[in-house]
């Protein structure tokens, strides 16, 4: 784990920064959201389902500008702007608008996600959901919260006792999605998909979902949320293994009483490279 007392690391300042900037970035995103019909939209690598708008780009530019001003020595990994400074002890992992397709189609399932790795370990995170007035945030060893309310993972012991968040993309791994759903339904479980990996991860930490499985997720969609799940008593797979930070991996987070049941349904693909 990181050295919390290292004199070169002002982690309290970084935690305060993450919460402030997530909220300010979410306010900026909301100004675009209310006039979303005027936005220019592009498709990434020809994928009609993987979209980016000027809102994503400008909100990420704002976050990067704040980082450059306050923590210029830190590294950063962002969905739109790529990575830099990965040799640094502190690396920010940011998604300016997680749930862009929802954002552009007038749905409320989007947020701003800002997480921090220290010495390769997720240490703190903030997820701002302006549509519902919620700021999910957490710091390793200090707990996780939505606004000022502590988070606690669901107490379910069986998959029939709650909802499981699910998701997939057109990337390799999608072939595991339907078998997982069949298995979940056969156990008496039920699922939802809201289009935002950050929010579904936060909902696992909050006990609103008993688990969340994605066939392949990127780090900016879940880094902040991994801290919340850990601090709320949930479990996760080894998402950052291999080149997970930059390339992503299969992803599972869940309440402790159902994690193993979900892991069995996912199968060996969960820990595949």
Binding positions for Mg(2+): 79, 95, 97-98, 221
CA-based diameter of the chain, in Å? 53
- What is the phi-psi region of residue 272: left when phi exceeds 0, alpha when psi lies from -120 to 50, beta otherwise? beta
Beta bridge partners of 191: 164
Cα distances (Å, whole numbers) of residue 260 to 74, 92, 151, 236: 36, 30, 21, 10
* Residues 108/132, Cβ–Cβ less than 8 Å: yes
Nearest CA-CA partner of 194 in 167, 217, 176: 167
Residue 102: both structure tokens together: 């929802």
- Known binding residues are 79, 95, 97-98, 221
* Residues 217/187, Cβ–Cβ less than 8 Å: no
């Amino acid at each position: 784990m990181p050295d919390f007392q290292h004199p070169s690391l002002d982690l309290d300042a970084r935690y305060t920064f993450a919460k402030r900037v997530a909220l300010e970035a979410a306010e900026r995103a909301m100004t675009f959201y209310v006039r979303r019909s005027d936005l220019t939209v592009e498709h990434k690598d020809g994928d009609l389902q993987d979209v980016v708008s000027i809102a994503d780009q400008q909100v990420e530019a704002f976050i990067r500008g704040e980082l450059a001003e306050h923590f210029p020595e830190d590294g950063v990994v962002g969905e739109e702007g790529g990575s830099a400074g990965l040799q640094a002890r502190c690396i920010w992992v940011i998604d300016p608008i997680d749930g862009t397709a929802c954002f552009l189609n007038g749905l409320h399932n989007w947020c701003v996600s800002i997480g921090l790795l220290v010495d390769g370990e997720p240490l703190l995170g903030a997820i701002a959901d302006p549509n519902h007035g919620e700021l999910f945030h957490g710091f390793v060893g200090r707990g996780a919260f939505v606004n000022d309310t502590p988070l606690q993972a669901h107490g379910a012991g069986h998959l029939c006792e709650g909802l499981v968040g699910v998701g997939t993309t057109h990337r390799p791994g999608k072939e595991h999605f339907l078998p997982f759903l069949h298995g979940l339904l056969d156990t008496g479980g039920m699922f939802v998909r809201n289009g935002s990996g950050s929010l579904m991860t936060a909902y696992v930490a909050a006990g609103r979902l008993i688990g969340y499985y994605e066939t392949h997720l990127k780090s900016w969609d879940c880094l902040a949320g991994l801290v919340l799940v850990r601090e709320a008593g949930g479990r996760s797979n080894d998402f950052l293994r291999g080149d997970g930070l930059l390339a992503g991996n299969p992803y599972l987070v869940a309440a402790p009483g159902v994690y193993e049941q979900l892991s069995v349904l996912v199968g060996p693909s969960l820990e595949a490279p």
